[in-house]
Amino acid sequence: MLTKLYDWVDERLDITPMWRDLADHEVPEHVNPAYHFSAFVYCFGGLTFFTIVIQILSGMFLTMYYVPDINNAWDSVFYLQNKVAYGQIVRGMHHWGASLTIVMVFLHTLRVFFTGAYKKPRELNWIVGVLLFFIILGLGFTGYLLPWDMKALFATKVGLQIAASVPFIGNWIEVLLQGSDIVGAQTLARFFAIHVFFLPAALLGLLAAHFIMIRKQGISGPL
Amino acid sequence: MHRGKGMTFVGDSRIPKRGKFIPPKDYSEYPGKTEAFLPNFLLKEWMVGAVFLIGFLVLTVSEASPLEAEADPTKAGYIPLPDWYFLFLYQLLKYPYAAGDYKVIGIVILPGLAMIALLIAPWLDRGPERRAARRPIATGLMLLSLISIIYLTWESSVSHDWAKSEEQGKIVKKVDIDKSSEGYKIYSSQSCVNCHGENLEGKVGPALVGKNIPAQLVEKVAVNGIPPKMPPNAFKGSDKDLKTLAKFIEKVSKK
C-alpha cells in the first residue's frame, strides 16, 4: 500500500533523488562521536538547530495564550504560567530554550572558528552563520519585552536609549523600534511583530541557505 | 530521458534533460569509518537528542521561568538589567572611556569593530593553515575577546544588586485598604504617601504591603529614617498619630 503510494508520487515528481541525496551522504569518521568522543564539538551545530526547533514549536504554543497589548500581555503570561495545565513547561521551554540557543550558537561559532572551518571555500557559509547569530541575538532582545513585566520594560527602555545614542541614525532606529515617544503600546506591538514574523522569516531563510551550502560543500576535512 | 519509475514527460516538458542521479561524493578520501547519514548516524543523533530533551524538560519543570510584576513606567527607581547575554555590552558602557562624552566608543566603535571583524574573519585570516595553534593572531584575538566577554559579564553580575532588584520586581498582591480609616488619613497627609504609594504598593520607596512590619519598627523608621533613601524625621505630628499610623501599617502589611 505504502509502496504503491510512494510509486504514484515518484512517477509524477521523481522524488527519489531528493531524499536519497539527504539520506545517502556519508558522515565522515572525524565528526562522529561514536568513534572519537572529542568529536562531540561537531554536534553543536545540530544541537543549535534542535534548540531552534524547540523555540519555534514552543513559541507557536505560546501565541495560543499570549495577547500582545499592554493591558493584557502580562496577565496573559501570568495566566499561562500559573493557571494553564503544563503552561509552566511551555513557557519554560521558550524562556530557558532562548538562553540555551544562545549558548549553543556561541559554542558552534567557536568550534567553527578554532577548527578554521570558515576558510576557503566556506567563507559565504561563515557570513550566513554570523548573520544567523545576530538574528538570534535580535530575537533575544525583542522577546525580552514581550512578558511586559518590570525588567522587560526597563531593560528595553535602556536598550532603546542606547540605540538612540548611535550617531546620525540613532533617532531613526529609535522611532522605528519604539513606534512612539515612549516605550508603550506601539513598542510592544512592534516588538511582537519583529519577534514573531520578521526575524523568524529571516532566520528560516538563512538557515535554509546555511544547510544547502553545507550539503553542497560537505563538512570540512579533518585537521 | 528516463527518471523515476517509468517516468515520461510528454509534449512541452520543461524539465531539463540531465545525466543520471549523481550520488553525493563519498568520504573515502578521508580514510576511516564513514557511515551513512540515514539511518545509521541519524539514529544515534536522535538518541542523544532524546536524552538532551529530557534533561531540558526536567529543567523547565524544576525551575519556573521568572515573571516579575506587571510593567509600571512610574516606578522610575527600578534598576534595569538586560538578559545575561547582553550584560557584557551593558557593562562596557559603565566605564568612563566608553561612556559620557566617549559613549560612541562603547556603543558603536567597539561592538561595531567586533561584529565586522567576526563577519569578515575569512578575509582577515587568509592563510591555508587551519589548526588554531598555527595561526596565533586569529586564535589570540578570539581568546582575548572571549576573556573580555566573560570578564565583563562577571563584573556586571557582581556589581548588580540582585536582592534589591528582586525586591523591586516582586509581584505585590493587591490589598484592600480602608482609605477612610484614621491610620490611612495620617498616612496620606504625611510625606509617606509620596514615596510608598497611594496603596502602599511602593513607588520610589519600597512596598509596605505583604512585609509583616511590626508597629515598633514603623515608629522607629518614621523618626530615624533608613539611610540613604529614607530621610529621618519624615513623620511630623503628634506621638498619638504616630502610634495610630504604626498600628495601621502593621495591620495592612500582614501577609
Beta pairing class for A26-27 and B35-36: antiparallel
ipTM value, please give it: 0.91
Taking alpha carbons only, the member of A48, A213, A67 closest to residue A136 is A48
Domain extent, residue B53, equals 34-60
B55 to chain A, any CB pair closer than 8 A? The answer is no
Say if B176 falls within a structural domain.
Answer: no
From chain B, the residues in CB contact with A223 under 8 A are 130-131
Task: Output the pLDDT for position B17.
Answer: 47
Q: Which residue has the higher pLDDT, B9 or A132?
A: A132
- What is the arithmetic mean of pLDDT over A55-68? 96
A5 to chain B, any CB pair closer than 8 A? The answer is no
A166 to chain B, any CB pair closer than 8 A? The answer is yes
Q: How far apart are the CA of A205 and the nearest CA of chain B, in angstroms?
A: 18
Per the structure, the count of domains in chain B is: 3
B125 to chain A, any CB pair closer than 8 A? The answer is yes
Closest chain B residue by Cα to residue A162: B107
Do A11 and B142 count as a contact with CB atoms less than 8 A apart?
A: no
Task: Output the pLDDT for position B205.
Answer: 80
B23 to chain A, any CB pair closer than 8 A? The answer is yes
Do B83 and A147 count as a contact with CB atoms less than 8 A apart?
A: no
Residue where one domain finishes, among candidates B160, B195, B226: B160
B123 to chain A, any CB pair closer than 8 A? The answer is yes
The SS3 assignment for B155 reads helix
Domain extent, residue A62, equals 35-217
The SS3 assignment for B126 reads coil
Say if A174 falls within a structural domain.
Answer: yes
Task: Output the pLDDT for position B16.
Answer: 44
- Which phi-psi region, left, alpha or beta, contains residue B18 (left: φ > 0; alpha: ψ -120 to 50)? beta
Q: Lowest-confidence range among A37-41, A191-195, B168-172?
A: B168-172
From chain B, the residues in CB contact with A47 under 8 A are 49, 52
Task: Output the pLDDT for position B199.
Answer: 80
Taking alpha carbons only, the member of B244, B243, B253 closest to residue B183 is B244
Say if B76 falls within a structural domain.
Answer: no
Say if B232 falls within a structural domain.
Answer: yes
- Based on the fold, state whether residues B153 and B115 are members of the same structural domain: yes
Say if A159 falls within a structural domain.
Answer: yes
- Based on the fold, state whether residues B155 and B188 are members of the same structural domain: no
pTM for this entry? 0.81
Say if A12 falls within a structural domain.
Answer: no
Say if B136 falls within a structural domain.
Answer: yes
Distances (CA, A) of B131 to A30, A80, A113, A120: 15, 49, 10, 14
Do B64 and A137 count as a contact with CB atoms less than 8 A apart?
A: no
Task: Output the pLDDT for position A223.
Answer: 80
Task: Output the pLDDT for position B194.
Answer: 83
Do A26 and B59 count as a contact with CB atoms less than 8 A apart?
A: no
**Distance (Å, rounded) from C-alpha B232 to C-alpha A142?**
43
Say if B101 falls within a structural domain.
Answer: yes
Taking alpha carbons only, the member of B196, B180, B183, B186 closest to residue B236 is B186
The SS3 assignment for B35 reads strand
Say if B11 falls within a structural domain.
Answer: no
**Distance (Å, rounded) from C-alpha B102 to C-alpha B99?**
5
Give the CATH number for residue B235.
1.10.760.10
Of B5, B49, B69, the CB nearest to A7: B5
A115 to chain B, any CB pair closer than 8 A? The answer is yes
Do A116 and B129 count as a contact with CB atoms less than 8 A apart?
A: yes
Of A22, A102, A120, the CB nearest to B38: A22
Task: Output the pLDDT for position B15.
Answer: 46
Do B115 and A134 count as a contact with CB atoms less than 8 A apart?
A: yes
**Distance (Å, rounded) from C-alpha B130 to C-alpha A121?**
13
Per the structure, the count of domains in chain A is: 1
- CB A74 within 8 Å of CB A149: yes
Of B49, B82, B142, the CB nearest to A159: B82
**Distance (Å, rounded) from C-alpha B96 to C-alpha B108?**
15
Which of B3, B9, B68 to mutate to probe the A interface, most A CBs <10 Å?
B68
Q: How confident is the model at residue A98 (pLDDT cuts 50, 70, 90)?
A: very high
Say if A70 falls within a structural domain.
Answer: yes
From chain A, the residues in CB contact with B38 under 8 A are 22-24
Task: Output the pLDDT for position B13.
Answer: 47
Give the CATH number for residue A99.
1.20.810.10
Instruction: List, in order, residues 6 or more apart from A57 with CB less than 8 Å away.
Output: none
Q: pLDDT tens, A106-127?
A: 999 999 999 999 998 899 999 9
Cβ count within 10 A of residue A19 = 10
Say if A112 falls within a structural domain.
Answer: yes
Do A81 and B131 count as a contact with CB atoms less than 8 A apart?
A: no
Say if B128 falls within a structural domain.
Answer: yes
Q: How confident is the model at residue A163 (pLDDT cuts 50, 70, 90)?
A: very high
Mean pLDDT across chain A: 93
What's the grid cell of residue A145? 519585552
Say if A164 falls within a structural domain.
Answer: yes
Task: Output the pLDDT for position B226.
Answer: 82
* Residue spans of chain B under pLDDT 70: 1-32, 174, 255
Of B118, B129, B169, the CB nearest to A150: B169
Q: How far apart are the CA of A197 and the nearest CA of chain B, in angstroms?
A: 22
Say if A5 falls within a structural domain.
Answer: no
Do B32 and A11 count as a contact with CB atoms less than 8 A apart?
A: no
Of B21, B71, B84, the CB nearest to A148: B71
What's the grid cell of residue B141? 584575538
- CB A214 within 8 Å of CB A108: no
Say if B73 falls within a structural domain.
Answer: no
